[in-house]
Structure 1
Amino acid sequence: MPTPRRSSFRISIVAAFAILLALFGCHRNRFPDVPAGYREYAYVSNAGSNTVTVLDLVYLRQDRTLQVGTDPTKMAVNPTRNEVYVANAQSGTISVINADANRVVATIAVRHRPSFITVEPTGHRAYVANYGSNSVSIVDLDLRREVSVAGAGEQPVQVHISPDGRTLVVTNHGSNSVSVFDLIPYSAGSPASASVTHLRSTFSGCPGAADTVILPDSSKAFVACSAGHQVMALGLAAAPGSWAAKQNPSLTADRMLALLDVGKMPVHLAMKPDGGEIFVSNFDSDSFSEIATWTNEVGGTYSIGNKPVRGIVSRDNSTLWVANSGADSIGLYSIDDGKLAGSVRTGSSPDALAFSADEHLLLVADTHSGDIAVIRTEGKQGPALFTILPAGISPNDIVVKALREK
């Protein structure tokens, strides 16, 4: 339950923005213009109400609420078609949302307690981590069905595809390990059931293995060991016959590179788009750590706020935004200057973060207050809270999809 102080703060904020919208209308006043026929939506999964809230980011208003399965968790956007996918943990299903019509058009059965979904770059296949069945589902998105299952470690929580499409990295929270699979990149006519060829390697010694990032060149993966105070750095096998493999044959095998000491309970990794640095949210240390990916070294650990839970880096690699769930705020760190650059107030217990397509807006899911804080990332006075939009109960993930009307 929110405290009286938080409740009164939220009521005041909502009332203030209701007056603002009445004065200036619902359109993104003083924001960059968008071309005719342009639409952009944010999709918010609400674990406590079994719904997805659809927000119109052009007119900054709630578009509609969609009923999905029970306990929706993570979502994914198809990069080549106008679809969004929702993993429903308690239902053991994936909901398919048509982004043109903003309605649920299919439900795909997978295994027990799906916790994470990712879509390959061609948009034809998805991979689902099934926390309750120690497996990964391979889903054919053209046929809208599960076509194969691969065994993983205990309680897999995330699956990630390397940018070159050759590798699938699975983090196993229960067995404190990471599984690495070979993938066959999609080609027309190839069966999706054969996309995972075999388990290539397994790495133990990562307590509470959780969040993962893979470098843009597919050479390394970094895994947050959330039940401890380290990040595992892994070298991913180079393609046989590649320049790297010819220069150094040992690079054709996956290998442990380092266990890097960070703060307590590292829960999230935010990577610069250029892949040069990773920022680790250390939940129990009220800090973040900065990792240089080229040298696999921790450059430093810095205070950021109370209970940092998630981070995101701007497209120009200049700014880190961190959700401080215990402080009801977003902390800003200037990467270029190497110092804190301020904070922005949000609703209660901010968590998931997502930029709008043009990055003029940062969307923040406020888990306890059940709403989305919309922050202007640029302005005369710097970043500031612009409005708060309603979501459902316990929002836990946000994805954004932009599309053009035909």
Structure 2
Amino acid sequence: MTPIRLLAPAFAVLSILALPLVVLAKDTGRIFVSNEQSHTVTVLDGRSFASVATIKTGRRPRDIKLNSDKTLLYVACGDDNRIDIIDVAKLAVVDSIRGIDDPEVFDIGPGDRQLFVSNEDAGKLSIIDLATKKLVRSIKVGQEPEGVLVTLDGASVFVASEAANLVQVIDVASGTIKANVPVGSRPRRLAQSTKEVWVSAEIDGSVYVLDKSNYTVAGRIEFAPKGFRREDIKPVGLTLTRDGSTAYVALGHANRIAIVDAATRQVRDYILVGKRPWGVALSRDEGHLFVANGASDDITIVDARRGEVVRSVPVGRTPHSVAIDD
């Protein structure tokens, strides 16, 4: 394993004026961060990283995602059993999809036609028609579902069930489960390339790589940043570059991001970020990685090409997820 790089701690609030400017691919780009304990979404300017708005949402906002044309931001509000819809131009909640039991993580299907939502308490996957904002199907899955991922062709949905240590593959057209894939303890989040689905197993301390063609485990990646016991390494958020060559994995209590060569499944580097990194998101040009640090109430911006921390920016209490309008 490559040794860790002890960079400037991202959980210290750094002076914006003293650091180089990061410019997103689109000059009007904004960064959205859900704050689980503040019940808000923080909006940061994509050039200066100054806060431009704080949007009040339902209680306990967790996963957030933009629609394909980046005009709407969907927010899973777990304690209010609803998905809030934020108008990106108005920077305000303009509608809500209600009656969704304990939504935590979701994905948006091709064409923005459907929303696929994990209902943690109910042990179900809800499918919402976004045109009508109505529930069209509820599918029983494993206990405590969290991670949800729609395949690139929209034909299948992968669901990670934390308590069942299982990833289930659901056929969208029929609503039936077509595969059950055992993985490590407490699977949390999912990311995909054209041929693989990556699954973070938090208690197991590793990432499982699933083959999309036959729904089997094709590999397992372990992490060993220096100075940490194995039980402190708790991967949660992860993302892959569009070409599938590189993965970024948030290691939770280890306060690091692992950069992984997807072909060899070897860790290239560890980057020190804030306390308990959780959600991660790449800019459109994949030049910068944005990391939500749940225990230090900030996000870390990483130069993804250099593998170096650029700065940290304070947000609300217990940031959970990041979405980028660039």
Give the secondary structure class of the aligned counterpart of 2:58: coil
Tell me, in whole angstroms, the C-alpha distance in 2 between the residues paired with 1:374 and 1:313: 17
1:98 aligns with 87
Contact 1:366 1:395 in 2 (8 A): yes
The 3 A distance-change label for structure 1 pair 266 and 126 is closer
TM-score, normalised by the number of residues in structure 2 = 0.80
1:180 maps to which of 132, 150, 170: 170
1:78 aligns with 67
Runs of 5+ consecutive residues of structure 2 not aligned to the other structure: 1-7, 226-232
1:375 aligns with 302
Displacement of 1:54 in angstroms is 1.3
1:313 aligns with 240
1:281 aligns with 200
1:396 aligns with 320
1:387 aligns with 311
Contact 2:291 2:300 in 1 (8 A): yes
The 3 A distance-change label for structure 1 pair 125 and 347 is same
1:58 maps to which of 47, 53, 60: 47
Contact 1:312 1:353 in 2 (8 A): yes
1:192 aligns with none
1:40 maps to which of 24, 29, 33: 29
Displacement of 1:167 in angstroms is 4.0
Contact 1:70 1:89 in 2 (8 A): yes
Contact 1:75 1:86 in 2 (8 A): yes
The 3 A distance-change label for structure 1 pair 171 and 58 is same
The 3 A distance-change label for structure 1 pair 355 and 141 is same
Confirm or deny that 1:327 pairs with 2:254.
yes
Percentage of pairs with the same residue: 24
Displacement of 1:152 in angstroms is 2.1
Confirm or deny that 1:348 pairs with 2:282.
no
TM-score, normalised by the number of residues in structure 1 = 0.66
Superposed, 1:222-371 pairs within 5 Å as 230-231=182-183, 264-271=185-192, 273-275=193-195, 277-290=196-209, 296=216, 298-299=218-219, 301-305=221-225, 306-335=233-262, 339-371=266-298
Give the secondary structure class of the aligned counterpart of 1:49: coil
Confirm or deny that 1:146 pairs with 2:134.
yes
The 3 A distance-change label for structure 1 pair 342 and 160 is closer
**CA RMSD, aligned part only?**
3.2
Contact 1:57 1:356 in 2 (8 A): no
2:112 aligns with 123
Tell me, in whole angstroms, the C-alpha distance in 2 between the residues paired with 1:291 and 1:127: 20
Tell me the matched-pair count.
309
Contact 1:310 1:351 in 2 (8 A): yes
Contact 1:47 1:393 in 2 (8 A): yes
Tell me, in whole angstroms, the C-alpha distance in 2 between the residues paired with 1:62 and 1:92: 28
Displacement of 1:84 in angstroms is 0.8
Confirm or deny that 1:165 pairs with 2:154.
yes
Could you report, residue by residue, the CA deviation over 1:213-262 in whole angstroms, capped at 9, with x for unpaired residues?
Answer: xxxxxxxxxx5xxxxxx43xxxxxxxxxxxxxxxxxxxxxxxxxxxxxxx
Tell me, in whole angstroms, the C-alpha distance in 2 between the residues paired with 1:370 and 1:96: 23
Give the secondary structure class of the aligned counterpart of 1:75: strand
The 3 A distance-change label for structure 1 pair 200 and 326 is closer
Tell me, in whole angstroms, the C-alpha distance in 1 between the residues paired with 2:124 and 2:54: 31
Tell me, in whole angstroms, the C-alpha distance in 2 between the residues paired with 1:316 and 1:59: 29
Tell me, in whole angstroms, the C-alpha distance in 1 between the residues paired with 2:99 and 2:77: 10
Displacement of 1:95 in angstroms is 0.7
Give the secondary structure class of the aligned counterpart of 2:320: strand
Decide which structure has greater helix share: 1
Tell me, in whole angstroms, the C-alpha distance in 1 between the residues paired with 2:107 and 2:213: 26
User: Which amino acid in 1 is paired with 2:319?
Assistant: P
Could you report, residue by residue, the CA deviation over 1:133-160 in whole angstroms, capped at 9, with x for unpaired residues?
Answer: 45444434344x3253424245543544
Give the secondary structure class of the aligned counterpart of 1:365: strand
Tell me, in whole angstroms, the C-alpha distance in 2 between the residues paired with 1:375 and 1:128: 29
